[in-house]
Structure 1
Amino acid sequence: MNLYATSLLLAVATTVWPVGPPRPEILRGWEPPPGPYAAGHRGLDLAAPPGTAVRAPAPATVTFAGPVAGHGVLTLTLTGTGLPPLRTTYGPVEPLVRVGTVVRTGDIVARVAPDGDHCEVSCLHWGLLRGETYLNPLGLLGGGPSRLLPVWGRAPE
């Protein structure tokens, strides 16, 4: 099953943005690198002031909650998403849950931590992986591949 088929199945299961409502501003989008060690942006940066509640986008189990390179990070392994399962990552955060905790869609799992290193303004970095492959987190919300409209007008009905 490809990424978009998987993401659409998960989107049907009712997923939510990790911060908001309202829908957060995307400060920096997903820019997949050409190789595993190349430059790129392996997630989305969502505008969120320090202290903002971070919610589980779908049913999951907490599989990591702690510091990485001096910043708080949280990883959720999403329930029923195949093998290897999808994992979402969040940082910088102050985790509010422990490893092994089972969470439901919308449960508060962390708070955005103050951090001046990642974005020009306070943000939450939201990542998505299957195994070691980074994916676009918008796929969880039904944001599959883009469709361009013809330059001369509307798409045919």
Structure 2
Amino acid sequence: MRTPHRARIRSVPLLALATVLTSAAWAGPPARRGPTPPDPAAAVPAVARLWPVGTRPAVVRGWDPPETPYGPGHRGVDLAARPGDPVRAVADGRVVFAGEVAGRGAVSVELSGTGSPPLRTTYEPVRASVHEGDAVSAGDVVGTLEAPAVHCLSTCLHWGLRRGAAYLDPLSLLPPWLLSRGPSRLLPLHAPAR
């Protein structure tokens, strides 16, 4: 007996679906292509002991990671500061670059004891007072902030953080007590009469 044309059309998609499900069940787990690389952001230790400028500078622009390696974004944070302000290493490390990049002064410090590949902080625009290979401790001056560039509307320090090729949020280096605005204060319930 012949199956009507309409019934054959309906049974073909069901047969195809059954074939796909059966082959997927027999395929087993997906093949691995080697070890999964660790997430670079997962292990950012709070090793910073101070802010790179001032005691609690305003964050003019926050970290905004790009969706793709060459996509738009902000690969660091901008901190309010004045030209001539000292720029300090936030943690112990070794200077791996001190010079100019695209006409702006920059300093890069590889942080000690931060894993492999190690974390690296960058500071710009900075007139370097250190040289490549110099050891620095937290709080050591690495340079002075240069006059405003096109990066900020007013003067700011661009502070960056990388692990290998991955850009990370430099604020993650700061322990919670450096990020807070200070201890809570109790105020009187009633204002004094005037």
| TM value normalised by structure 2 | 0.68
- Matching residue's letter, 2:159: W
Task: Give, in angstroms, the shift of residue 69 of structure 1.
Answer: 0.6
Overall identity of the aligned pairs, in %: 52
Whichever structure has more strand as a proportion of its residues is 1
Name 1:152's counterpart in structure 2.
none
Question: Which residues in structure 2 correspond to 1:13-28 (within 5 Å)?
Answer: 13=47, 15-21=49-55, 23-28=56-61
Is residue 4–residue 139 contact of structure 1 (8 Å, CA) maintained in 2?
no
Higher relative contact order (CA 8 A, sep 6+): 1
- Matching residue's letter, 2:71: A
CA distance 1:130–1:14, change in 2 (3 Å)? closer
- Matching residue's letter, 2:53: V
Task: Give, in angstroms, the shift of residue 114 of structure 1.
Answer: 0.5
Which one of the candidate residues 67, 74, 86 is aligned to 1:41? 74
Whether 2:23 is the aligned partner of 1:6: answer: no
CA distance 1:19–1:51, change in 2 (3 Å)? same
Is residue 44–residue 127 contact of structure 1 (8 Å, CA) maintained in 2?
yes
Whichever structure has more helix as a proportion of its residues is 2
Is residue 18–residue 55 contact of structure 1 (8 Å, CA) maintained in 2?
yes
Task: Give, in angstroms, the shift of residue 16 of structure 1.
Answer: 1.2
Instruction: Count the aligned residue pairs.
Output: 139
Name 1:93's counterpart in structure 2.
126
Measure, in 1, the Cα distance between the counterparts of 2:107 and 2:48: 21
Which one of the candidate residues 127, 131, 142 is aligned to 2:160? 127
Task: Give, in angstroms, the shift of residue 115 of structure 1.
Answer: 2.4
- Matching residue's letter, 1:74: V
Is residue 95–residue 109 contact of structure 2 (8 Å, CA) maintained in 1?
yes
Is residue 59–residue 105 contact of structure 1 (8 Å, CA) maintained in 2?
yes
Task: Give, in angstroms, the shift of residue 15 of structure 1.
Answer: 2.1
Measure, in 1, the Cα distance between the counterparts of 2:60 and 2:158: 10
Larger Rg, first or second structure (1 or 2): 2
Which one of the candidate residues 85, 93, 103 is aligned to 2:136? 103
Any gaps of 5 or more consecutive residues in structure 1? 144-157
Measure, in 2, the Cα distance between the counterparts of 1:116 and 1:82: 33
Aligned-CA RMSD value: 1.5
Displaced runs of 4 or more, over 6 A: none
CA distance 1:14–1:112, change in 2 (3 Å)? closer
Deviations 1:106-131 (A, max 9, x none): 11111100023110000000000000
- Matching residue's letter, 1:87: R
CA distance 1:85–1:74, change in 2 (3 Å)? same
Name 2:116's counterpart in structure 1.
83
Is residue 76–residue 88 contact of structure 1 (8 Å, CA) maintained in 2?
yes
CA distance 1:14–1:39, change in 2 (3 Å)? closer
- Matching residue's letter, 1:15: R
Measure, in 2, the Cα distance between the counterparts of 1:14 and 1:31: 21
- Matching residue's letter, 2:163: R
